[in-house]
Amino acid sequence: MPEPRPSPAHSVLGSIVLIGVVVAGSAAAFAYTAGWLSPERLTPWKMLQALAPPSGPALGHRRNHAKGICFTGVFESNGSGAAISRASVLAAGQYPALGRFNLGTPNPDAADASVRVRGMGLRITPPNGEEWRTAMINAPVFAASTPEGFHELLLAAGSKDTNAMKVFARAHPEFATFGAWARNGPWTGSYAEDHFNGLNAFIFTDSSGADHAVRWSLLPQAQIIPVAQDDLEKLGADFLKQEITQRVRSGPQRWTMAVTVANPSDPTADPTKAWPEDRRTIDVGTLVVQRIEAEADGPCRDINFDPTVLPPGIRTSDDPFPAARSSVYAKSYDLRTAEAKDYPRIPTGPKP
Amino acid sequence: MNAIRHHFAPLQRLLHWLMAICILAMLFIGVGMVSTIMPKYVPLVSIHKTLGTVIFVLALIRLVTRFYYGAPPLPVDLPEPMKLAAELSHYALYALMIGMPLLGWAMLSASAYPAELYGGIYLPALLPQSDSLHTLLWNAHFYLAFAFFALILMHAAAALFHALVRHDGVFAAMAPVPIREEATQVEYRVAE
Ligand code: HEM
Ligand code: HEM
Ligand code: HEM
């Protein structure tokens, strides 16, 4: 009679232990990958915690640049950009644009004159389904050279220790350029007079396949009238929204999109370092803002101006920021859309 | 009566193991990407969307092969509740490998996000932008991902139990390379 092949009791036990080890090992590898075993990992969630004010985030709103107003218009591409990128949005033509003027604060009720950083989110959609999204600010350089450095800055700025910022600035000399701009840079009384700089470096690929490292900026065509911050403080808390609504009602507002091409030796991975003034700059088109709408029920509300949403012909460079921003903005978006009931879709701001 | 087959067809086995690797990779990429802000975030998300779409297509092909070839019967001596558990879990696995990619794709559409795959391929939007739909789909994609992983662990544990403890030919039926276990199965039955 053939021997029964089933294993003797001790071998059954061995098999069961083996199965247990396989299952537990897989679960542990999964937990490790998810970061549950690495409390030191800088996650998008931690970044959002560092951004939040002590009273907690404003539910339903963006976790940063929380105060804003929507605009729509067109991007008139003049075709000059086609020399350095095959992106269809840089071929001559007019493409719909949607955007958002905003203030760099996690507080949607902040007084306009109290916020140093102003921003613009912009989405341009050529007809073939491609998209170009970007979010830019009025500062000439960024405040940190790495996302980790930005996290430290947020912790220092939010710290109760009055020395924390001094300690940070000493440990991060690269903060000085931004710091000087924040203290002494000019203020304007209108979004229409502000520069909006992309700051991060991206790669344009032209039709021959050659790559060009670039940064882009929107330069206001309106005349810039510098104003002292003290004078802005005398205006209402929402003067920027009111002003841009009025101004666009009386006529479209324009910005020139300027793309600066790096020399091979220019730093692309560090947005605290401006490139020298003499770099080749190409005016690729004009953003025309035609209509302003309140955010609460406006078309920009549920858009995530994720800087990694790029058309073929434009891609991220070795600059670590766009990836970090994409990850954090997605988390912010998931949270704020889930909290929509805390931010009713009733317009409170000015109507066009 | 037709002769009883002891194995899944080679195409079914190929798809099973190819997809097992892809799906496990997807689960790890998924939880890995959402917990990092490093530069690898961008390629990981791109791979996630692309591989997820490939899985969706493979799952549909696999469903067709399943209807066409059927599945070998489970061993007669397998207790009824275990048979039921096996069948139900297989239904659930099929539902998840088809459902998860659809949820991911629909979630992107509901957030007005272009579903761009590797190589500049754009999937059309499945749904209009909607915050409530986005939240619903996000939660489904999130919780079902963990349910999927738990189910796969149970499924693999059961498969190994058949292979190492019961020696009943169930593992051989799906083994990536032919293994001689039928003999064992027959001997076992005789010995009982
Ligand atoms: C790691 C660094 C950064 C973090 C953690 C961060 C964080 C955030 C968050 C959480 C939001 C809200 C996103 C949403 O809910 O849609 C946001 C929006 C924004 N960020 Fe950043 N940011 C970073 C770097 C930058 C840089 C370098 C710039 C400028 C070049 C910038 C400009 C903006 C602008 C303009 C918006 C508003 C976009 C809109 O209107 O929706 N950010 N940021
Ligand atoms: C991502 C992971 C996996 C998925 C989604 C999956 C899915 C499935 C499904 C749906 C079936 C039913 C047969 C069919 O109609 O195709 C099946 C059968 C099977 N799987 Fe998996 N599987 C996975 C991983 C594994 C692993 C890791 C093992 C082994 C350690 C395994 C071993 C088996 C075996 C032995 C069968 C045959 C069961 C029978 O005869 O009814 N599977 N699998
Ligand atoms: C078999 C298929 C899939 C599996 C197993 C899977 C699994 C996962 C997992 C585990 C996560 C992380 C959840 C978390 O911890 O937050 C995730 C997130 C995500 N998945 Fe998938 N996925 C699949 C298919 C897809 C597809 C086809 C797409 C899109 C086309 C997609 C889009 C996403 C997105 C956008 C996220 C991030 C959500 C967020 O904002 O947090 N997934 N997925």
Strands A211-220 and A196-197: antiparallel
Question: Minimal Cα–Cα distance from B9 to chain A, Å?
Answer: 26
Q: Which atom of ligand 3 is nearest to the CA of B28?
A: 10
* A 30-49 near B (Cβ less than 8 A): 30, 33-35, 41-44, 47
- The reply to whether B2 falls in a domain is no
B160–A318: do the CB atoms touch at under 8 Å?
no
CATH code for the domain in which residue B120 is found: 1.20.950
Q: Can you tell me the mean pLDDT for A277-286? A: 97
**CB A254, CB A234: distance < 8 Å:** no
- The reply to whether B185 falls in a domain is no
CA atoms within 13 Å, Cβ hemisphere of B162: 24
Q: ipTM for the complex?
A: 0.93
Q: Residue A267: which residues within 8 A CB-CB, separation 6 or more?
A: A273, A275
Tens of pLDDT, residue by residue over A169-199, are 999 999 999 999 999 999 999 999 999 999 9
- The reply to whether B134 falls in a domain is yes
Nearest residue of A to residue B129, measured between CA atoms: A302
How far is it, in rounded angstroms, from Cα A333 to Cα B6?
Answer: 51
How far is it, in rounded angstroms, from Cα B105 to Cα B124?
Answer: 9
Report the range of poorest mean pLDDT among A69-78, A206-215, A266-275, A343-352.
A343-352
Tens of pLDDT, residue by residue over A296-339, are 999 999 999 999 999 999 999 999 999 999 999 999 999 999 99
For the beta carbon of residue B68, count every other beta carbon within 10 angstroms.
10
pLDDT tier, A5 (very low <50, low <70, confident <90, very high otherwise): low
- The reply to whether B46 falls in a domain is yes
SS3 B178: coil
- The reply to whether B42 falls in a domain is yes
B/e letters for B16-30, b = 16+ CB within 10 Å, e = fewer, are eeebbebbbebbbbb
- The reply to whether B181 falls in a domain is no
Chain B touched by A56 (CB under 8 Å)? no
Domains, in order of start, for chain A: 8-342 (2.40.180.10)
- The reply to whether B4 falls in a domain is no
Q: How many domains does chain B have?
A: 1
- Residues in chain B with pLDDT values less than 70: 1-5, 180-192
pLDDT tier, A346 (very low <50, low <70, confident <90, very high otherwise): confident
- The reply to whether B179 falls in a domain is no
Burial of A52 (0-12, 13-18, 19+ CB in 10 A): middle
Q: Which ligand is nearest to the CA of A148?
A: 1
In this prediction, residue A349 carries a pLDDT of: 54
Q: Residue B88: which residues within 8 A CB-CB, separation 6 or more?
A: none
**CB A112, CB A239: distance < 8 Å:** yes
B34–A337: do the CB atoms touch at under 8 Å?
no
Give, rounded to a whole angstrom, the gap between the first and last alpha carbons of chain B: 26
For residue A350, give the amino acid letter.
P
Q: Retrieve residue A237's tokens.
A: 């808390």
SS3 A329: helix
In this prediction, residue B1 carries a pLDDT of: 33
- Asked if the model's pLDDT at residue A270 lies above 80, the reply is yes
Q: Which DSSP letter does residue B166 get?
A: I
* pTM (two decimals): 0.94
Structural domain containing residue B148: 10-174
Tens of pLDDT, residue by residue over A19-68, are 999 999 999 999 999 999 999 999 999 999 999 999 999 999 999 999 99
For the beta carbon of residue A184, count every other beta carbon within 10 angstroms.
7
* Interface of chain B toward chain A, CB-CB under 8 angstroms: 27-28, 31-42, 45, 111-114, 116, 120, 122, 124, 129, 131-132, 134-135, 138, 149, 153, 156-157, 160-161, 164-167, 184, 187-188, 190-192
